[in-house]
């Protein structure tokens, strides 16, 4: 374990001073080319590597963006992280991750902890209460919220109004008049938005909309099976594809034909949605782009500008075999 080579070692070896070495290495403007070459040579020879931590410490805020997600294993967040990471990295920043386990209190602790090491924060699908969010925004670093609208912060979100309209219009176009929504986590803002926009659109389209609570995983969808079956809906919209696939699975296990007896559609269109039986009609959204836009907002803000207007991403309906014409259900159990 060789001793770490420091700036002063290079200076000594090059027969000059630390300032010169620093300048030579950082490409300062006023310095003789020969010295630069010499210093660089010596540095290379000695295997010198600047201590990035010391640099950033000296320079000010850390080039790190702290991110919180409710659950690392949720494919939606994985892709957001992917996009955010790529952009941030391209901008010279690194990602410090925090997982709240869907727990608002934990999320607040995370924010409090991450901010100590971060120059900016991204809250992905924050589960914080309104009050909690206020506290988070009071941090001395810029904060962007993904899928959560809020004042005085960056906002990047899916346009759920458009999303819900696409879904319901598709279903009414197939003749469905009675739709059931299987919801997501109670703390999820986007679940609230989905419900709100669905209700509103349902009213406009004269569709009867019922709602039940759910969650975000396949289990939640599977467990909702009996309730769904006993409802009078001819079509179901699920919080996301995992729930949708779980529900499809229950229907299959219980001999309910999809889509002839029941249509199922969903939000997100994660890759696996194309491979369910039947393939799931879903709303494609650019999740990675959510992360990229979050980073864009951050850079602008870090550059001294005010927060840009919220970025709203309009999803696209991918129609697959899980939705079909409305028909009276053959069997009721």
Partner DNA sequence: TTGTACGCGTTATCAG
Partner DNA sequence: CTGATAACGCGTACAA
Write the DSSP symbol of residue 258. Answer: T
**Residue 85 contact among its own copies, DNA, none, beta carbon within 5 to 8 Å by kind:** its own copies
Q: Is 59 in the site for DNA (CB under 7 A)?
A: yes
Taking the complex as a whole, the smallest distance from the CB of residue 34 to its own copies amounts, in Å, to: 29
The rounded distance, in Å, linking the Cα atoms of 308 and 41 is 45
156 and 146 in contact (C-beta within 8 Å)?
yes
Q: Is 16 in the site for DNA (CB under 7 A)?
A: yes
Residue with tokens 């249509």: 263
Q: Which is nearer to DNA, 8 or 138 (CB)?
A: 8
- CB atoms inside a 10 Å sphere around CB 28: 12
116 and 106 in contact (C-beta within 8 Å)?
no
Taking the complex as a whole, the smallest distance from the CB of residue 48 to DNA amounts, in Å, to: 7
Taking the complex as a whole, the smallest distance from the CB of residue 50 to DNA amounts, in Å, to: 4
Phi, psi of 235 (to 5 degrees): -140, 145
3-state helix, strand, coil in the chain (%, to 5): 45, 15, 40
256 and 245 in contact (C-beta within 8 Å)?
no
x/- contact string, 25-54, with DNA (CB under 7 A)? Answer: xx-x-xxx-xx-------------xxx--x
Q: Rule CB under 8 A: which of 51-80 touch its own copies?
A: 51-54, 56-57, 62, 64, 71-73, 75, 78-79
**Residue 30 contact among DNA, its own copies, none, beta carbon within 5 to 8 Å by kind:** DNA
Q: How far is residue 135 CA from its own chain's centroid?
A: 21
What end-to-end distance do the CA atoms of the chain give, in Å?
A: 72
Q: Is 275 in the site for its own copies (CB under 8 A)?
A: yes
**Residue 99 contact among its own copies, DNA, none, beta carbon within 5 to 8 Å by kind:** its own copies
Considering only 12, 13, 22, 284, the residue that binds DNA (CB under 7 A) is 22
Q: Which is nearer to DNA, 7 or 288 (CB)?
A: 7
Taking the complex as a whole, the smallest distance from the CB of residue 199 to its own copies amounts, in Å, to: 29
Q: Which is nearer to its own copies, 189 or 222 (CB)?
A: 222
Rg (CA), the chain: 26
Q: Is 96 in the site for its own copies (CB under 8 A)?
A: yes
Residue 89 token pair: 């990295």
Taking the complex as a whole, the smallest distance from the CB of residue 305 to DNA amounts, in Å, to: 22
Q: Is 94 in the site for its own copies (CB under 8 A)?
A: yes
Q: Is 107 in the site for its own copies (CB under 8 A)?
A: no
Q: Which is nearer to its own copies, 20 or 215 (CB)?
A: 215
Q: Is 277 in the site for its own copies (CB under 8 A)?
A: yes
Q: Is 4 in the site for DNA (CB under 7 A)?
A: yes
Considering only 126, 172, 201, 217, the residue that binds its own copies (CB under 8 A) is 217
Residue 333 token pair: 């159990």
The rounded distance, in Å, linking the Cα atoms of 98 and 104 is 12
156 and 294 in contact (C-beta within 8 Å)?
yes
The rounded distance, in Å, linking the Cα atoms of 94 and 87 is 10
Q: Shortest CA distance to 315 belongs to which of 278, 269, 271?
A: 269
Half-sphere exposure of 115 (CA within 13 A, CB side): 17
Strand partners, 145: 123, 155
Binding site for DNA (CB under 7 A): 4, 6-8, 15-20, 22-23, 25-26, 28, 30-32, 34-35, 49-51, 54-55, 57-59
Binding site for its own copies (CB under 8 A): 1-2, 4, 49, 51-54, 56-57, 62, 64, 71-73, 75, 78-79, 81-82, 85-86, 89, 94-99, 113-114, 116-117, 140, 217-218, 222, 242, 245-246, 248-249, 252, 271-272, 274-277, 279
């Amino acid at each position: 374990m060789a001793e770490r080579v420091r700036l002063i070692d290079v200076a000594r070896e090059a027969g000059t001073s630390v300032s010169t070495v620093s300048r030579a290495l950082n490409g300062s403007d006023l310095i003789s080319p020969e010295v630069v070459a010499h210093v660089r040579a010596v540095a290379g020879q000695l295997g010198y590597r600047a201590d990035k931590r010391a640099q950033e410490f000296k320079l000010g805020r850390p080039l790190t963006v702290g991110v919180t997600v409710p659950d690392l294993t949720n494919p939606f967040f994985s892709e957001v992280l992917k996009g955010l990471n790529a952009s941030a990295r391209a901008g010279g920043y690194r990602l410090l991750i925090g997982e709240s386990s869907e727990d608002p209190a934990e999320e607040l602790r995370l924010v409090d902890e991450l901010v100590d090491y971060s120059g900016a924060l991204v809250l992905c699908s924050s589960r914080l209460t309104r009050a909690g969010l206020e506290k988070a925004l009071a941090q001395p670093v810029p904060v962007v919220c993904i899928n959560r609208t809020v004042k005085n912060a960056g906002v990047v979100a899916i346009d759920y109004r458009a999303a819900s309209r696409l879904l319901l219009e598709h279903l009414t176009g197939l003749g469905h008049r009675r739709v059931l929504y299987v919801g997501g986590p109670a703390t999820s803002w986007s679940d609230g938005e989905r419900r709100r926009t669905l209700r509103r659109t349902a009213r406009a389209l004269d569709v009867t909309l019922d709602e039940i609570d759910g969650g975000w995983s396949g289990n939640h969808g599977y467990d909702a099976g009996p309730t769904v079956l006993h409802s009078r809906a001819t079509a179901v919209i699920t919080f996301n594809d995992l729930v949708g696939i779980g529900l499809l699975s229950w229907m299959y296990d219980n001999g309910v034909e999809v889509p002839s007896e029941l249509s199922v559609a969903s939000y997100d269109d994660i890759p696996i949605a194309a491979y369910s039986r039947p393939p799931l009609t879903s709303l494609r959204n650019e999740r990675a782009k959510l992360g990229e836009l979050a980073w864009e907002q951050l850079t602008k803000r870090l550059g001294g500008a005010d927060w840009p207007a919220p970025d709203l991403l309009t999803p696209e309906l991918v129609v697959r075999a899980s939705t079909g014409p409305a028909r009276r259900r053959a069997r009721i159990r």
